[in-house]
Amino acid sequence: MFSSAGATSLRSIASKLVNPDEVGKTSSLISISEALVPVIYSPVYSFVYDRTLTTFSGAFYLISAGLAVPAIGILILLFYLRSREANENNPTSDTKPKENEITRF
């Protein structure tokens, strides 16, 4: 039921981090990655599990965690760069906004 929740949230976050003219490129990159990941990682996980079944059967969980750390790091870096870019383009000032007939009351 919730298997595609991660992909949906990834697409949402990625679409907010890139310029509007690059959303299609980002979506296609995510789609290609979603198609290739099972092809690559299923044999790797099977190989690691078979080799470590008698000694440490949870080794493939460590591989998953190891692969998630760089992805999270890249996501945080992109979010930071995008936030910094947004702050440079729209600096907030401490000055009081101008009054008009609506805000005067």
Mean pLDDT of 95-101: 63
Residue 41 lies in a domain: yes
**Smallest Cα–Cα separation from 11: which of 19, 22, 21, 23?**
23
Q: What is the pLDDT of residues 40-83, one digit of tens each?
A: 888 988 999 999 999 998 888 898 888 888 888 888 887 888 78
Whether 30 and 14 have beta carbons less than 8 Å apart is answered as: yes
Q: Please give the structure tokens belonging to residue 98.
A: 């101008």
- Asked if residue 105 belongs to a domain, the reply is no
Q: What is the arithmetic mean of pLDDT over 26-45?
A: 87
Q: What is the DSSP letter of 20?
A: G
Has residue 102 been placed in a domain? no
Residue 52 has what pLDDT? 92
Residue span of the structural domain in which 45 resides: 5-89
Domain presence at residue 95: no
pTM above 0.75, yes or no: no
The reply to whether 104 falls in a domain is no
Highest mean pLDDT among 10-14, 67-71, 100-104: 67-71
* Number of compact structural domains in the chain: 1
Q: Specify if 30 maps to a domain.
A: yes
